[in-house]
Each structure stands twice: as structure tokens, then as C-alpha cells.
Amino acid sequence: MISETPRVRFAPSPTGYLHIGGLRTALYNYLFARNQNGKFILRIEDTDRKRFVEGAVENLLDTLKWVGLDYDEGPEVGGEYGPYFQSERLDIYKKYAEELIAKGKAYYAFDTPERLKQLREEQLKKGLQTKYDKFALTLSEEEIQQKLANGEPHVVRLNVPPDETVFVEDVIRGRVEFNTEIIDDQILIKSDGFPTYHLANVVDDHLMKITHVIRGEEWLSSTPKHVLLYEFLGWEKPVFAHLPLLLNPDKSKLSKRQGDVAVEDYRDKGYLKEALINFVALLGWNPGDEQEVFTMEELIQKFSLERVHKAGAVFNIEKLIWLNAEHLRSKPNEELLVMLKEEFKKSEYSNVDIDDEHLLLIIEAMKPRVEFVKEFITKCPYFYEAPTGYDEKVIKKRWKEDSPGLLKKLRDKFAQLENPAKEDYEKALNELAEELEIGKGKLIHPLRLALSGIGTGPGVYDIVHILGKEESIRRIDTALEKIKTPNTDSTEEK
């Protein structure tokens, strides 16, 4: 009997990194479980020993921890349905394989690789579907026992009945039908004694009382084999939900060849976990309203399988960057400070002595202008060192014949200020503009260039205030020395 409490699982293979598609599968399982007050189980499907990568399990657990997908049962956590590594459950699979054989629903096959290759080539020549020809079923019981006694290499295959219709009821796709003529006699136990995914996942899902199997669309074609296994073993089937494919903007399947698909890649590039989770949640699901920026709590509250769509979901990196900026701006400055200090250690300015108070001022000034934490450094290097050069385009556009004289007057105004606040710099500049009867821009633009070397950035009064009076005056003096007035006929700015 399937558990009344919803129980879902994420069952990755430890073959390297965690794919964005894997994260999406894990997230949807997690959101469904939390929304339904159910259980989220992590199971490691490590029976494909050829593809096993050392350290991949640790990396997977670390990545799930980083994005905040805490599981209720699984490695390191335990639970009453363990072990949660399939490689530790081989006796269990063997038992059910033998039960299937006894029922005539599976059989031993002793074919050599050469015979299977020849069979495949002949079928391809005739334009037939490549599938096993059930040759092993022509062996007598005596022959089978003799071969087993001799230790001949063998596999166990599923005995798919001929010309029947298998139905898959899918929450997302509705009723999907498969004729058994196109279903191969799937290998269930390989010659090394390890099960294939098909047997192991059905056995484990049943024994772990999984109520809903939520996984990628690529598994839909295998599901009729799983349905047959449930029926052959006399078990109740879980609810199936197959998630849409993830696509590149050109509608091809998202793959490693076309860029970063590992969650670790995005973490290393400075994406916030909140933005990544938000973005991945929207790859195939929508809340039914206009909301696009979500916290994990909001996703849990709004998530339902019924709002997952069938069509492939396009991976749009611009949307991810936008979401990263939105989540960054919603964070308290104190939280960003901790992250910025980590970035600072890795930057070329790691030896610059700058206190938390100044870093918080930089965060406040730059927050509307950055998309990543590291841009609190890369987009405003002038906060950490004086400019060594000045943007030629800005000089041409903003540095007029009278700019040196005006900037010198402004410098003298600033020099007279005592313990100035940000407002005092603004007041001084406004007063000078009024005295000289000129537009404020004639002072602001040269001042910005002198302080930062460029023509864009946060408010110029923020820059002066963060740099402080002494440093600002030093930089104005340097600019007056270094910047040569270009020959220009452009109209003076009022």
C-alpha cells in the first residue's frame, strides 16, 4: 500500500557535476514535498560503475546544501528505508529479479557481445527496430541450469509480452499509450551482478514508499517498462510526472557542449543561490500570475504539478542575470558586506585597508548599479585606488576650457569644509554654481572625471563622501595636473 503522506525522491547518479536539469528535478520534488507536508528523499543511484566519478557524491551533497534543498532521508541523514546508496542494496535487487524469473516475467540470457552486435546489424539492414529477439527463451531449463553452473556470463532480461498496450498516467502529459511491440526486453541485472536503473529504481521506489515519481521527460519512454515491472511484481504504481526538456535559445537540448550546465559553474561565477533557485523554478512552471521574483517560501506556497507545462523550457541567461540583480538588491547591506569581504580577499585589492563602514557606504551607493557581488569591486575600482588614467571620450565631451579653473575653485570650497557630511559637499557645489552663475553640470562632470577617471557611476556626492575630503582633494589636484583640455568646438554645457 502506497503511503498516504506524499513521499518523493531525487535519485541522481554520481557521474560528476550536478546538471541544471538535475537541480530542476530536485527542486520540483522538494517544492512538491514541502507544499504537501510530505517527505523529500535523496537516493544515490550508483550502480553504473563505469560512469562512477570519485568525489561526485560529496560534491552533490555539498551543492544541494548550498542551494538549500535539505532532504528528510538519505546519505548522512539516514532514515528507516535505507541504505540510500543502490550499491549497498544488491541483494535486494537480486531477490526481486529471481522472483520475476520464477514468474516467467524475466529470464536469463547468455548471448555473447558478438551475437548481439550481429543481431543489431541485421535488424538495421532490414530497417527494423533494434531490440532483443528473445533467443534466450529457446533454451531449455536444463541448458539454463548447466550454463549457470558453468559460470557463463549472463544478464537477466525483462520478458515483455507481445502486442499489448501499456498505459502511463502522467500528471503533466495525461494518458500516454505504448505498444509493447516497440518495447525492448530490457536488461534488469547486468553481467557484473549490478542492476540497471530500470529494476533498481522500481524496487527502491516501492520499498521506500515513493508516492510520486517526478523526473525529466527523457525517462518517459522508459516508463512503460517500469509500469510492467510494477504489474509483474503486484505492486501499486506511483503517480508519474515527467518534466519538460530544458532547451537552449535555439531550441536544441541544453547540453555541456553549449555552455555551462553545472550548478557549480554558476556558483563559481557569483550567482546567488536564491536567484538560481528562482530561475530554475520558472523553467517549466509558472504561478499563474505576473510574479517573477520569488523567495523559497513563496515557491513552496505556490508550487503545484498541475502548473508545470509540457513544452520545453528555454534557458535564458539574461533572465538569470536579471533575477540575480533583483535578489541582490533585496538583501540587507550587512549580508552583502559579508559576501563582499569574501570577494575582496580574492581580488587585486586584497591588500587595500578599507573598513566595514566604508564598504557599507560603497554597497549602498552601488547597489542599484550591480548584478553580482563582485561588481561592487569591478565596477568601481576608483573606491579602492586612485585612477591612473582618464577616459578620453569623457574628456572630449565633459572637460572644457574653463573646467580646470572651475574645478580648482570647487577644490578650494571643499578644502574649507570641516568634518563634512555628504550633504555638505552638495551644498558647497550648489553655492559655487550660484556664485558663478553656471549650470551645476559644469562642476559635476569634471569632478566625477577627476575622482573616478570615468563618466558614469553612483552620485558624485556619494563618491566624494566615500573617498573623504583629503583623498578627493588629492585626486582633483592630480587631475588638474594630468588632464589636458582637448581642442573642441562643442557647445559649452549650461
Total count of residues recorded for the chain: 494
- Nearest to residue 408, comparing CAs of 485, 494, 479, 310? 479
How far is it, in rounded angstroms, from Cα 156 to Cα 110?
A: 9
How far is it, in rounded angstroms, from Cα 192 to Cα 150?
A: 16
Is residue 100 within 8 A of residue 157, CB to CB? The reply is no
Q: At how many degrees (to 10) do helices 441-452 and 469-482 cross?
A: 90
- Nearest to residue 270, comparing CAs of 359, 380, 374, 379? 374
The residues that are catalytic are 256
Residue appearing with cell numbers 554520481: 14
How far is it, in rounded angstroms, from Cα 481 to Cα 48?
A: 69
* Phi and psi, residue 199, nearest 5°: -70, -50
Contacts of 106 (CB under 8 A, 6+ apart): 97, 100, 156, 157, 158, 159, 188, 232
Please give the angle made by the CA atoms of 333, 336 and 339, to the nearest 5 degrees: 160
How many other CB atoms are there within 10 angstroms of residue 209's CB atom? 17
Contacts of 66 (CB under 8 A, 6+ apart): 267, 273
Please give the DSSP secondary-structure letter assigned to residue 247: E
How far is it, in rounded angstroms, from Cα 293 to Cα 299?
A: 10
- Nearest to residue 64, comparing CAs of 103, 99, 14? 14
Which residue(s) pair with 174 in the sheet? Answer: 170
Please give the DSSP secondary-structure letter assigned to residue 170: E
How far is it, in rounded angstroms, from Cα 300 to Cα 287?
A: 11
How far is it, in rounded angstroms, from Cα 242 to Cα 24?
A: 12
The radius of gyration of the chain's CA atoms, rounded to the nearest angstrom, is 33
Residue type, 379: K
* Phi and psi, residue 76, nearest 5°: 70, -20
- Nearest to residue 214, comparing CAs of 489, 29, 38, 345? 29
How many other CB atoms are there within 10 angstroms of residue 427's CB atom? 15
3-state helix, strand, coil in the chain (%, to 5): 50, 10, 40
